[in-house]
Amino acid sequence: MRIGVDVGGTKIEALALDRSGHELARYRVDTPREYAGTIAAVVGLVDRLESETGQRGTVGVGIPGTVVSSTGLVKNANSLWLNGRPFDKDLSSALGREARVANDANCLVVSEATDGAAAGVEVVFGVILGTGCGGGVALSGRVHAGRGGVAGEWGHNPLPWPNEDEVPGPPCYCGRRGCLETWISGTGFMADYERHTGKKLKGAEIVMASEAGDVEALAALERLENRIARGLAMMINVLDPDAIVIGGGVSRIDRIYAAVIRQLPEYVFGGTCDTPVLKAMHGDSSGVRGAAWLWPRAQDEALELVEPVR
């Protein structure tokens, strides 16, 4: 059995999968907004899953940040109480076994490359377009985090090939201006609509208005699609993945896929591009499922053999 945990800013979700990837059980709790409470909540969820299933499993955890290999400490987490802490080591100690911890976007890409929209694909770039703009790389179904743990983090690069009215760009929480996150995340999409119209609408409401013939809403959606195409073209020029998978709230906008694919050749070096751009198969569950898949099958089975639940 394998257990995946998704530590979010408002909730912590955990599930147990059997060796074939079928879900055995799933629970969620509110996120304690402090460090010790977060560790205790994860341990409690793992204990509950193992008690219900009668099995012991490997544990993988996705967090909205990165564990830096050189220091062992978390950085860039919007759950601020995790930053500067050895979360993977402290959690492993509390569980009495190794817990593998990865960025939540990395978990999404592992999930989709393992048994999702890009199953069996060699090089996959996974994208989360939600409150923020995350990214991750999977090579043969395994996370490629990079030396500093930031591989695939395209959200804090500037918007490529900006128009005059896109410079210097909106301020970003990271301290810079014009980051991709400020343009193509769900919050960036809503902020762009408000700047142009003076009206506040949620992303789904903007899409609904565009479908009803609202010219301003349609223009905002077309700007979003063009900016996503420019951002992905930059990643194709650097990584040239075999497939791109999009998750998060923006991924539910079905029209963006055809629009982005149509525009990619305009920006990709050489003027041609046939890279598939796919919707995440597992939707909001991709992150927690990907956390479970941080352990290869062989190690998962070995743990079951030597450490049965008592």
Say if domain 120-280 classifies as CATH 3.40.309.10.
Answer: no
Burial of 99 (0-12, 13-18, 19+ CB in 10 A): buried
Overall pTM surpassing 0.75 (yes/no): yes
Stretch 268-275: mean pLDDT: 97
Nearest to 20 by CA among 297, 294, 302: 297
Which DSSP symbol is given to 225? H
Express each pLDDT in 185-244 by its tens digit.
Answer: 999 999 999 999 999 999 999 999 999 999 999 999 999 999 999 999 999 999 999 999
Decide if pLDDT at 298 tops 80. Answer: no
Task: Report how far apart, in Å, the C-alpha atoms of 92 and of each of 23, 58, 96, 147, 264 are.
Answer: 23, 11, 6, 22, 43
Tally of CB atoms within 10 A around 96: 9
Stretch 179-183: mean pLDDT: 96
Question: pLDDT over 70 for what percent of the chain?
Answer: 95
Q: State how far the Cα of 310 lies from the Cα of 304, in Å rounded to an integer.
A: 12
Query: pLDDT higher for 39 or 132?
Result: 39
Express each pLDDT in 3-61 by its tens digit.
Answer: 999 998 778 999 999 988 899 999 999 999 999 999 999 999 999 999 999 999 999 99
Query: Which of 202-216, 263-277, 294-308 is least confident?
Result: 294-308
Q: Positive or negative, the Cα torsion across 154, 157, 161, 162?
A: positive
Express each pLDDT in 79-101 by its tens digit.
Answer: 889 999 999 999 999 999 999 99
Instruction: Output the six-digit token pair for 171.
Output: 């301020």
Q: Is 242 helix (H, G, I), strand (E, B) or coil?
A: coil
* pLDDT at position 178: 96
Decide if pLDDT at 104 tops 90. Answer: no
Q: State how far the Cα of 141 lies from the Cα of 19, in Å rounded to an integer.
A: 16
* pLDDT at position 299: 52
Instruction: Output the six-digit token pair for 293.
Output: 């898949």
Q: State how far the Cα of 133 lies from the Cα of 279, in Å rounded to an integer.
A: 15
pLDDT level of residue 297 (50, 70, 90 thresholds): low
User: Which residues make Cβ contacts (< 8 Å) with residue 301, sequence separation at least 6?
Assistant: 19
Q: Write out the residue limits of the CATH 3.30.420.40 domain(s) in the chain.
A: 2-107+285-305, 120-280
Peptide bond into 168 cis (omega under 30): yes
Burial of 184 (0-12, 13-18, 19+ CB in 10 A): buried
Decide if pLDDT at 307 tops 60. Answer: no
* Helices (H), ranges, the chain: 35-53, 87-95, 104-115, 181-184, 186-197, 203-211, 215-239, 256-267, 286-292, 297-306
Helices (H) and strands (E) in the chain, counts: 10, 12
Question: pLDDT over 90 for what percent of the chain?
Answer: 74
Decide if pLDDT at 309 tops 80. Answer: no
One-letter amino acid of 73: L
What's the CATH superfamily of 2-107+285-305? ATPase, nucleotide binding domain (3.30.420.40)
Which DSSP symbol is given to 26? E
Q: What are the φ and ψ backbone dihedral angles of 228, each rounded to 5 degrees? A: -60, -40
Which DSSP symbol is given to 117? T
pLDDT level of residue 308 (50, 70, 90 thresholds): very low
* pLDDT at position 302: 47
